[in-house]
Structure 1
């Protein structure tokens, strides 16, 4: 499609709303070429703010073109008056108006050449923005990368921000601590809602089982048992066991008697079995009472020696250790144990959800206290602030250094993806009104320069 550029002051009809496209051509002369459907597509993407800029741009173009027409009319009238013998003043006015026209036309050409080919003539180095869009995007990306994404600029900017001090002051306020705690609670609830219980239970169960299988517990059990025996920590357990055994024997005399009688040979008389059962019961009851009441009972000493020997075997005997590890593995793989392990996640999840929803829960209160404490430390501790600022600067520099090319490429690729004509029109909407002042200034400055030159020429000429 051929692109035809409008004369000075004519609005860009492709950038106007459909309702004003026809009137723009009549008001400003010949418009740019191209069919209406393409103009409609470009115009449809303009916002209400863009349309307001269009109206302001048209007014400035009309003003600049009106001034050009005014000086042209003045030039014609002044030239006619000079030839009619009106006096020397007519020559000065004509010279000023002529120079004003030259300045206006030159500046019109310069402004128009940024966005399109003036009068549709493909003069070199015109329509700069549409034809050089990709190069401009590349230059913009390089400029941003060199001047905004360099390590020195980033570190200096972060240093001037004083992030550690600002963060400390902000976190040290109770209302901000409440806000942070609430956001953390919301994030926790959201994360728990996303996780599927079955998947988490499977992962937790597998992790706990694998970790427990990998850890050798026999030496640790031996160390714990040895320290317990050395400190006498097992005595309470023995006291409790002896008391429970004596109480059970007292309450279950017939059970003991029946067990003895049942285990006796069939050829012995019943009364003999009964006498033996009573004797055994009395001895067991006496033995339990003595162990319960006598801390230095020989059986207690034997138990201490047994536990000490077991501790040494757990710490140094490979056979004992292997037996304990096999028992541990069998215990872990029992279905009821696996159920307990996997169900632990459900309990933890319910506990976390309850704590996150309750503002007075211990979890949220501790989180709030931690936030306030961190704020106070950052506000008071220069070394901690320096460390935080250093960590942030190092992290930002690492990210920017690693992705500088991707960041600048985002700018370059985004500009390259823009439609050239549409981009030119959008840019003109944003800066075109200010550029029209160049045309106005060119007309005025040209007229003044022409008047001065004409005056200087006549002064030297006599």
Structure 2
């Protein structure tokens, strides 16, 4: 009958695996019944390391190993013949986050946990054997000392079992019993995540903590010392050049040209240029800077008249009435040419020529009109708008960006370019000043403190919710197994210490009781 029942149960398990139906708990119960029907029986202490070696019910957080028939896979799914790995397959619809999956590294740590479980369980068995032998010796009348040993061993067993229960209750229900406040991590995972987020927000993301920490670090001084090193300055310069090249590569020329053109046009439209031009012209006239331009114009005009005298006379004759005699037109042309040449020559050679004074007066008045005359300023604005609206001007702006982009890329790629050399020198100079100037260090630390405080106070809720929501997204069984793999080995020392401390306490209590006549 036992064999028939085992076949029936195994058949149910196989059907559940094929159809994908059934809950995880039902699969585990079926496997446990199958083990019982084969005479193996369930593992008595699920937290012990033997669960991993026999492939029993998966209570150790990894029921892989050599595995018994149908050993449970631990986190979910059935183990099949020979027992599956400790990670198992997660239940349907409860897939853990990929970044928090149970990995091979975790399995390696879990092996260390299982070894420590065997050690702690072995110590429990040792004190149990000592208790049996000491009790037998005491009842056999060997002497008084077996009583002390039996008391110590008895208390050691109590301490070992109590600490086994406490450690096991963190990750699962001891012996599978539905005892309240057990399996704390799987059942209270979300609450623990919320508590962790609140704890981090209250104790780490407060303005005072951030300010004190940054002030204690002395970021400004450290940054200065670091930047003052030529190798570090070269590294920062290279990183900045790489970032600059990347940014210029990503940006489309057409987009940048449109933005730059629009920005220049908007800026020029928003700013009235008349008063500025007037002030500039007034200063030029006051300083006499325009006289060199007048001198140059006079020299060029004189030279042109000398070389093109016939052209001037022909132009005058061509504009004469048709009824005048040709010799009269010729004499008039010669006269006009001579007067023009004399006038230009006198302007060239006479700094105090009346025409030069007239030019000074005109420019002075024009500078004043540009600053105060509404009509003049309006005409200048209209002229400005017409110039900016011309396609040739926009083409110049576009070509200017292309030239600037090419120049920047070339300078960024060349380690010996003026741009990179100046950037390196500036960084080293800044570093040297930061390293020695306490006032500047205070400013930098203050800026960093203000920025960090702003970030943590503005986004504290988002940061804490990131913690709680991330923990909530973890699979409960995977989380329990992963945490146990990381801290379970140390927790087994609690069991060992509980055994030792319990034995010492029991020995002390028995000694005091015996001394008092108990």
Q: Note whether the superposition's TM-score is higher than 0.5.
A: yes
Match of 2:88 in 1: 40
Is residue 197 of structure 1 aligned with residue 267 of structure 2?
no
Question: What 5-or-longer segments of structure 2 have no aligned partner?
Answer: 1-23, 30-42, 91-95
Shift of 1:19: 4.4
Alignment of 1:415-426 (within 5 A): 415-426=471-482
Match of 2:233 in 1: 177
Alignment of 1:261-410 (within 5 A): 261-410=317-466
Deviates more, 1:335-344 or 1:259-268: 335-344
Choose the corresponding residue for 2:118, options 52, 62, 68. 62
Deviates more, 1:73-82 or 1:203-212: 73-82
**CA RMSD across the alignment:** 2.9
- Contact 1:11–1:24, Cα closer than 8 Å, also in 2: no
Choose the corresponding residue for 1:49, options 72, 91, 105. 105
Shift of 1:51: 2.2
Greater relative CO (CA pairs within 8 A, separation 6+): 1
- Is the partner of 1:246 in helix, strand or coil? helix
CA gap 1:441/1:246 in 2 versus in 1, 3 angstroms:
closer
Alignment of 1:101-116 (within 5 A): 101-116=157-172
- Contact 2:278–2:370, Cα closer than 8 Å, also in 1: yes
Match of 1:142 in 2: 198
Alignment of 1:213-228 (within 5 A): 213-228=269-284
Give the alignment's TM-score, normalised by structure 1. 0.90
Match of 1:255 in 2: 311
- Contact 1:256–1:277, Cα closer than 8 Å, also in 2: yes
- Is the partner of 1:337 in helix, strand or coil? helix
- Contact 1:57–1:432, Cα closer than 8 Å, also in 2: yes
- Contact 2:197–2:467, Cα closer than 8 Å, also in 1: yes
Match of 1:11 in 2: 51
CA gap 1:182/1:453 in 2 versus in 1, 3 angstroms:
closer
Q: 1:171-206 deviations in whole A, cap 9, x for unaligned?
A: 111221122222221111111111110111111112
- Is the partner of 1:377 in helix, strand or coil? helix
- Contact 1:257–1:277, Cα closer than 8 Å, also in 2: yes
Shift of 1:23: 9.0
CA gap 1:418/1:87 in 2 versus in 1, 3 angstroms:
same
Q: Which structure has greater helix proportion?
A: 1
Question: What 5-or-longer segments of structure 1 have no aligned partner?
Answer: none
Is residue 20 of structure 1 aligned with residue 66 of structure 2?
yes
Shift of 1:349: 1.0
- Is the partner of 2:51 in helix, strand or coil? coil
Shift of 1:94: 4.2
- Kindly tell me the number of residue pairs found equivalent between the two proteins: 458
Shift of 1:84: 5.4
